[in-house]
Structure 1
Amino acid sequence: MIMTRRTGVLPAELSSFVNRHREKGALKRSLAASRLVTVVGVGGVGKTRLALRVAAEVRKAFDDGVWWVELSALQDADLLAQVVAEVLGVQDVTLRPMTEVLAEFLAQRRLLLVLDTCEHLVEPCAELVDRLLRAAPGLRVLATSRRPLRIDGENLYALRPLEARRGGRGEPAAGVQLFLDRARAASGSFSLAERDREVVARLCEYVDGIPLAIELAAVRARALSVRDIVKRLDDRFGLLTRGSPGGPARHATLQTAINWSHDLCSPAERSLWARASVFAGSFDLTAVGEVCFDDQLSASDVLELVSRLMNQSILVREERPCGVRYSMLDTLRAYGRDRLRQAGEEMPLLRRHRDYYLSLARQFDARWCGPDQIDQYERLGREHTNLRAAIDFCLKHRQEHLAGLELAAALRCYWFGCGFIREGRYYLDRALALNPAPSRTRATALWACAWLANAQGDPDAADTRAAPALRYAQQEDDTETAAWAVHLVGLAAMLRGDHLRGAALAEHAASLHRQGGDPGLGLIAARAVQAVSLAAAAEFDLAATVAENAQATCDQYGERWLRSYLDWVRALAEMGRGDPETAAAHARGALRFKRLLNDHAGMAATLDTLAAALGALGQAERAARIQGIALQVWRTVGRPQLGAPALVAAHHYCQQQARGTLGDAAYQAAFDNGLTLDLGAAIAYALEEQAPPPSSAPQQTGRAPLTRREWQVAELVAEGLTNQQIAARLVIAKRTADAHVHHILTKLDLDNRAHIAAWATEHRAPVADDNSR
């Protein structure tokens, strides 16, 4: 995905786009005239591709970006607002309805929200869109759906199939051009004789101009001549239209084209097509090998079969910095699922899908307290839609309920540490309600849910869930469960303002973990709560000692997530001890890791503490700007200063101090500058990695839309450096350099590194000193 705060989020286009000039123009005019436009049409007609191209071309018209929300894999309507929030970067942890949170977040923004594939969620989408449009006058919505949303103000744009005969500007008709593009992609030696152009036009008419059907036919040019393709389609569609003077409906036309493509597949290819339909969103080669192959479908053939389905346009291949991913168009996935169901294999394959993602969740849980937390976070992030689908499957089927509870509980650190607190609690609450019988799995899920409830500022609910977990632990002599339950009761006490009780319970939990509970993550988490409680109770020396000892345990395991929280606690303690310079150093240490996990609550709290330290050091303008950055992040969390009285008081003191030094006007200017900065640039500024831009306005230069770091990478590409050499020069990981190059190619719509070099040379200009402050 392409993502910055200003431009938004749009997926990369994975194949050439047949330029539908009239359609693009008409859709842009509709968007200009209406705040809600829904592109409607049959499956496979190209709704998503047209919406994506138009969204990319109108992006500059929206100050706060264009944001793409893919809904095809979402089955639970209750998570609709949550999925939209995730795309927008909203990690609200309050108990307010997410629809209300989104309405407030969007109220002052000017952006385009694209909801792709709404037909299975029409009513929930209609309710959400109606609420948001009423609350946010600067919001426009572009939706794609087979059915209208049917709300006031909706402007329907009915997308017609591609022309088979009429071209324009000296170009072939769009349907013919699409066939030629895909045939050439399928077979490098493909060429079309002039006498065969009429044959291709007839082929496009046979399939009623539906792009997906044209693409499925075109890939057969690898083995068949154009005339052979048309002859076979003629036979197939002759059966379809026989006895139907008005011709078949377009959905029947597409179904027939897919049937024909399916029949031309080998038995093994058909089987993999059906089995791969259990994936939601994208998947990698390892996943398809584990889930789809068995004694009947040999795993040794996985690469060959995947390649063959990709060559037939059944699977789509996408190169990402993390490696190759595969996906399937919704229409083809639904067809495959029908075939799987007819073969009686749907439930076994869904269980295998669930088992694979349960194993990933267990691996994540086992490895989280270790040196590869970022890799684990990124891996599960790529599989989020599949994890969601696996849990949904479990919660729909009685015999799978316990497995669903285990899966939701195994993801507890992912929910808590990676910004999915609401979703994690939603799933844990549902799974717990379906599994009332006492068990170790239920006890784990109870304290995991208590952890998330505390994070939402709901200590009463945390106590309610921790209590039965503690009873179970005492009955079964389960030290680990007891330790976590006690720790979370202590955290609830701290959140209520009973800091000394919170510290005492956390110390007891730490003792239990040392006695045989969890001497890694559990012990560190308990000591972190103890240290925060002590700092809030003004026991600064003891808080610093506890935090330092806990950091030593982190270093023993290579753990960095909780270590960053302990850095923040040490910053609080050093501020209490009167050493703002050391406090600032610890705050920056915390911030460096928190941004890697996209931990908004942790980043915001750390930014507040950093601002206080800088204010105490006399850097009032910088403190004011960082307070603005902190508020920007707090707005995505929903509960500034986590509602903690001590943090609120510290924030107000810092604000008054900076305002008193600068004066109201200068303070407000610096604060507003931080509030409106691009978030990536803002965090880099807080870490002293770069100076702030003079204003929040997007740069209107030839080098936009690249970030400063991407521009540096582009210049090094122009110098002839490899990605490995770029990584060494900039002191970053090679994987990070790979990602920057990928983003540059996508943003600038370039094909290769040579084009990057040419672009960088053409747009080279003096760069401001990054170290100026």
Structure 2
Amino acid sequence: MPPTPRPDPASAGPPRPGNLPHEVNRFVGRAAERAALQEALAAARLVTVTGPGGVGKSRFAAHAASWIPRELRADGVWRAELAAVRRPELVEYALAESLGLTDHTARSSRQVLLDHLAERSLVLVLDGFEHLVDACARLVRDLLRAAPDLRVIAVGRRPLALDGERLLPLAPLPVEGAAELFTDRAAALLPGFRLHDGNRADVLEVCRRLDCLPLAVELAVGRLRALSPAQLAERLDDRFRLLTGGGRDTPPRHQTLRTAIGWSHELCTALERLLWARLSVFAGSFDLEAAEYICSGDGLHADALLDVLQELIGQSVVTREETTAGVRYRMLDTVRAYGAEWLDSVGDTERMRRRHRDWYMGLATWCELDWFSPRQSEVAARIDGELPNLRAALEFCLNEPGETHLAQYLAGTLWFYWAGCGHLAEGRHWLEHSIELDAASGGHGESAYPDSRLKALWVLGYVAILQGDTVPALAALQECREEAERTGNTTAIAYAVHRTGCLALVTDDVPRAEQLLRESLTRYREIGELNSNVLMGQVELAMALAFRGELAQAVALCEDVRQVCEDHGERWTRAYALYVLAYARWTEGEPAAARRLLKECLTIDHEFRDLLGTVLAIELLALVTVAEGDAAEAAVLQGAAGRMWPSVGLRLFGSGHYNLPHELCEARAREVLGDARFDELTCTGGLLGHDETVERALGGGPRTAAVTVPRPARAPAPEMREPAASPTANGGETTG
């Protein structure tokens, strides 16, 4: 059977956005099912692909979605994998992550999704929902009601049972199709393998005995390293009798899949079975170092683990994948579940989950330290890849009696990811949950592990500030400071004072902000604390001084931060220092210098997915642009920023100081363009996507002669004060 032809590229159109995985090997068969899916999706907005485990639902849905006519997917096809999500409340976060959404507001994750999808035409592939069917059904119902051009392909073993749902049951392959799959995969494993008269009967027999389930066929092919097709067919008899699972009412295909997996398991060596079971504790993908730490010992030496892992890869039990963070490994969910049953049967599940938790606690701690280094980008990518495992570790801590403090520590330690990489909403979820559980168990004010609770409190306050949610932020910071003073935790006091000063700054209490930020910097210096947080406090103090017209002091502080960041390879805080320096350059009438600084600032913010830093930079770039004489482009940038702000929080924090560049830019642009033209151009900017906006802002420059834009009147120069000294780099980063 020849390969199914792909569409003519000319008719397929240009690549559309989305996150569908690229097919690494040839997709076999399913042309009729693909056509049926397209027909169903044209008539209904929800199609659920159902079928037994191992029938190939996930691969088929991803493949078929890539063929959907582009008029139904103008904004792309996006796939969300839910197999590794264990808590119903995390479904929304996982979906937002799959869509590439970052949101800094106090809105619920559901509202963020509703707002994002309401105006888009896209196809969402929701894969592996069966263990979360109620939560997923409610979410899909709400999304479809709010987004008229959204279509959903749900993939699971059962329907969502929603009105308007079309079902597409996926049956096993026909025997010839299964034989084609067998031959294709065998040829990849054993170059030169082909179907011929000498092996055709045996291959067809193997496929029939495995009910032509794709997963079972691929697992069987993995044994061709050691067995011929004839030997495969011969050995199936004994293995089927030995490993048939389930009762009399269990569907035969479920028995067959279990037999196929169990048979593959039975043919593994003892060490391979042991590693298979232990690897089941991972959620999502994992790397070699994690596997060696968690899974070695007690019969499996660390030095031998790589060889055993390679054997499991060769048998299709584990898959290898290349990522931006390096080589990682993954097990199919069905294969993982089989291993988990074996791990549970030998009574080793809790011990392995504790080792898993310990590894990811250590990883988070190391990444927090490494954040203040030239490896910030690598740290961000590492945490991105490990997020399912970190969630599993957090969940384990929250569910184990007496270990809530570990959840507080882990959630607090990941502050740099929540705040620096656009995951404020999820960070707040874990922080609040761990603090609430501690309080419910009597830990409030009397925790046996106060340091962990205090860290969670100041991080919660920080996250809430960035979301523009000031009342919960103040409550968390006040509780943190009071308890820290009672227990003598000087580090937590410094962080609580710092973040309270940050709160004063964004709520326009500039004198109090300056007082608290200076106090926090003094406290940091006294305890020898130096990290991204400390430098951010110095940047925030500089901004307070800039708001008061004390530009010389503000510039001195930020130039000091800039130098320390260069010395340590720190880039995230450096971006905020560049923003303040650009603000000063613009205020001093130097738009070209301001633009150069803002371009570097925006590049860094976009790399880290820091939405707050990104939109602040674009707002100031709009003002610089109108000062350079291009009022039309300034209006477009303001419109694009306006679209971003709802995902950040309260627009410019509701602050008159932060809002000044926006107001000046709008006033000048309206004066030049007129109200109608200005409104038209801001609407144009509001249609730009996030990446398009950043690309446009970075590519911009002066187009016409510069014009004069009124700058804020400087406050009378106060008596010069000694700039707050930067903490010395005596002892690296410590945690609060």
Q: TM-score range by the shorter chain?
A: 0.7 to 0.9
Assess, with a 3 A threshold, how the Cα gap between structure 1 residues 242 and 530 changes in structure 2: closer, same or farther: closer
Structure 1 residues 560 and 235: CA distance shift in structure 2, 3 A = same
Offset of residue 189 of structure 1: 4.7
Shift of 1:79: 1.7
1:430 aligns with 2:433: yes
Counterpart in 1 of 2:23? 13
**1:235 partnered with 2:238:** yes
Q: Per-residue displacement from partner, 1:491-513 (whole Å, max 9, x unpaired)?
A: 12223221221121011101111
Choose from 284, 287, 290 the match for 2:287.
Answer: 284
Q: Deviations over 1:171-191 (max 9, x none)?
A: xx2111111122222323534
CA distance in 2, matches of 1:379, 1:184: 35
Cα distance, 1:112–1:514 mapped onto 2, change above 3 Å: same
Question: Are 1:481 and 1:517, in contact at CA under 8 Å, matched by a contact in 2?
Answer: no
Match of 1:326 in 2: 329
TM superposition shift of 1:5: 11
Matches within 5 A, 1:326-725: 326-435=329-438, 436=443, 437=447, 439-664=450-675, 666-667=677-678, 670-677=681-688, 679-688=690-699
Aligned to 2:706: none
Q: After superposition, what is the alpha-carbon deviation per residue over 1:561-601, rounded to whole angstroms, capped at 9, x for unaligned? A: 11101111222233334433332222222112111111112
- Amino acid across the alignment from 1:356: W
Shift of the 690–197 alpha-carbon distance from structure 1 to 2, 3 Å rule, reads farther
Of the three residues 15, 20, 34, the one matched with 1:24 is 34
Report if aligned partners of 1:450, 1:462 keep a CA contact under 8 Å in 2: yes
1:311 aligns with 314
Call closer, same or farther: CA 1:574–1:235 in 2, change over 3 Å.
Answer: same
Three-state SS of the structure 2 residue aligned to 1:160 is coil
Cα pair distance change 1:244/1:388, threshold 3 Å: closer
> Do residues 48 (structure 1) and 58 (structure 2) align?
yes
Q: d(CA) in 2 for partners of 1:266 and 1:691?
A: 68
- Any conservation in 1 of the 2:55–2:213 contact (CA below 8 Å)? yes
1:179 aligns with 2:190: no
Structure 1 pair 597/242, CA: closer, same or farther in 2 (3 Å)? Answer: closer
CA 59–513 in structure 1, closer or farther in 2 if over 3 Å, else same: farther
Q: CA deviation at 1:456?
A: 1.3
Higher mean C-alpha deviation, range 397-406 or range 407-416 = 397-406
Q: Secondary structure at the match of 1:360?
A: helix
Tell me, what secondary structure is at the counterpart of 2:364? helix
Residue pair 2:408, 2:452 contacting (<8 A) in 1 also: yes
Between 549-558 and 237-246, the greater mean CA deviation after superposition: 237-246
Please give the secondary structure, in 2, of the residue aligned with 1:156. strand
Check conservation: 1:479, 1:517, Cα contact below 8 A: no
Alignment check: 8 A CA contact 1:487 1:506 kept: yes
* Residues 242 and 674 of structure 1: CA distance in aligned 2, closer, same or farther (over 3 Å): closer
User: Do the aligned residues in 1 keep the contact of 2:630 with 2:702 (CA within 8 Å)?
Assistant: no
Looking at structure 2, the residues matched to 560 and 463 of structure 1 have their Cα atoms a distance apart, in angstroms, of 28
In the TM superposition, what is the alpha-carbon distance from 1:638 to its structure 2 partner? 4.7
Contact 1:513 1:523 in 2 (8 A): yes
Aligned residue for 1:69, secondary structure, equals: strand
Percent identity for Structure 1 against Structure 2: 40
Cα gap change, 1:659/1:130 in structure 2, threshold over 3 Å: closer, same or farther?
A: same
How far, CA to CA, are the matches of 2:198 and 2:192 in structure 1? Answer: 18
- Mapped contact 1:544–1:574 kept (Cα < 8 A): no
Are residues 148 and 57 of structure 1, via their aligned partners in 2, closer, same or farther at CA, if it must alter by over 3 Å? same
Summarize the Cα distance change of 1:679–1:248 in structure 2 as closer, same or farther, 3 Å threshold: closer
Range with bigger deviation, 520-529 or 445-454: 520-529
**Structure 2 CA distance for partners of 1:215 and 1:687, relative to 1, 3 Å:** same
TM (norm. structure 1) is 0.84
The correspondence for 2:174, drawn from 142, 155, 163, is 163
Q: Distance in 2 between matches of 1:5 and 1:97?
A: 32
After TM superposition, the structure 1 = structure 2 runs for residues 223-302 of structure 1, keeping only pairs within 5 Å, are: 223-238=226-241, 249-302=252-305
Tell me the secondary structure at the aligned position of residue 523 of structure 2.
helix
The one-letter code of the counterpart of 2:52 is V
Greater alpha carbon shift after TM alignment, 585-594 vs 431-440: 431-440
- Aligned residue identity for 2:466: A
Return 487-496 or 346-355, whichever deviates more: 487-496
> CA offsets, 1:27-47, max 9 Å, x none?
111111110011111111111
Matched letter for residue 621 of structure 2: L
Separation in 1, partners of 2:668, 2:150: 37
For residues 147 and 138 of structure 2, the distance between their equivalents in structure 1, rounded to whole angstroms, comes to: 14
3-state secondary structure, aligned to 2:239: helix
Name the residue aligned to 2:81. Answer: 70
Question: In 2, are the aligned partners of 1:92 and 1:101 still within 8 Å (CA)?
Answer: yes
Go from structure 1 to structure 2 and tell me whether the alpha carbon gap of 1:272 and 1:29 turns closer, same or farther (over 3 Å shift): same
2:225 is the alignment partner of 1:222 = yes
Q: Which amino acid aligns with 2:378?
A: D
Give the letter aligned to residue 37 of structure 2: L
In structure 1, the residue matched to 2:164 is 153
Alignment partner, residue 766 of structure 1:
none
Q: Contact (CA 8 Å) 2:109, 2:425: kept in 1 or not?
A: no
Secondary structure class of the residue paired with 1:527 = helix
CA distance in 1: counterparts of 2:86 and 2:215, whole angstroms: 24
Would the aligned equivalents of 1:487 and 1:505 in 2 still touch at CA under 8 Å?
A: yes
Cα contact 1:163–1:209 (8 A) shared by 2: yes
d(CA) in 2 for partners of 1:525 and 1:249?
61
AA aligned opposite 1:388: R
What CA RMSD, in Å, does the superposition of the two structures yield over aligned residues?
2.5
Distance 2:43 2:322 in 1: 37
Q: Report whether the alignment pairs 1:92 with 2:103.
A: yes
- C-alpha displacement of 1:539: 4.1
Taking the aligned partners of 1:5 and 1:211, their CA distance within structure 2 comes to: 29
Contact 1:514 1:523 survives alignment (8 Å): no
Counterparts of 2:650 and 2:690, CA distance in 1: 18
Separation in structure 1 between the aligned mates of residue 133 and residue 258 of structure 2, nearest angstrom:
23
Q: Give the stretch that moved more between structures: 454-463 or 626-635.
A: 626-635
Conserved 8 A contact 2:507-2:654: no
Gaps of 5+ in 1: 165-172, 693-773
TM-score with structure 2 length normalisation? Answer: 0.88
Name the CA distance, whole Å, in 2 between partners of 1:567 and 1:76: 40
Residue 403 of structure 2 aligns to a residue whose secondary structure is helix
Closer, same or farther: CA 102–207 of 1 in aligned 2, 3 Å = same
Between the two proteins, the alignment pairs up a number of residues equal to: 681
- 1:243 CA displacement: 13
Judge conservation of contact 2:372–2:531 (CA < 8 Å) in 1. yes
Deviation at 1:59, TM superposition (A): 6.5
Distance change >3 Å, CA 246–CA 380, structure 1 → 2? closer
- Name the SS of the counterpart of 1:592 in structure 2: helix
Shift of 1:689: 7.6
Unaligned runs of 5+ in 2: 1-13, 704-736
Contact 2:244 2:259 survives alignment (8 Å): no
Aligned-residue offset at 1:517: 4.6
> What amino acid does structure 1 have at the position aligned with 2:531?
G
Q: Does 1:130 align with 2:141?
A: yes
Query: Residues 457 and 479 of structure 2 are in contact (CA less than 8 Å); yes or no, is this contact kept in structure 1?
Result: yes
Give the equivalent residue in structure 2 for 1:765. Answer: none
Q: Distance in 2 between matches of 1:278 and 1:19?
A: 34
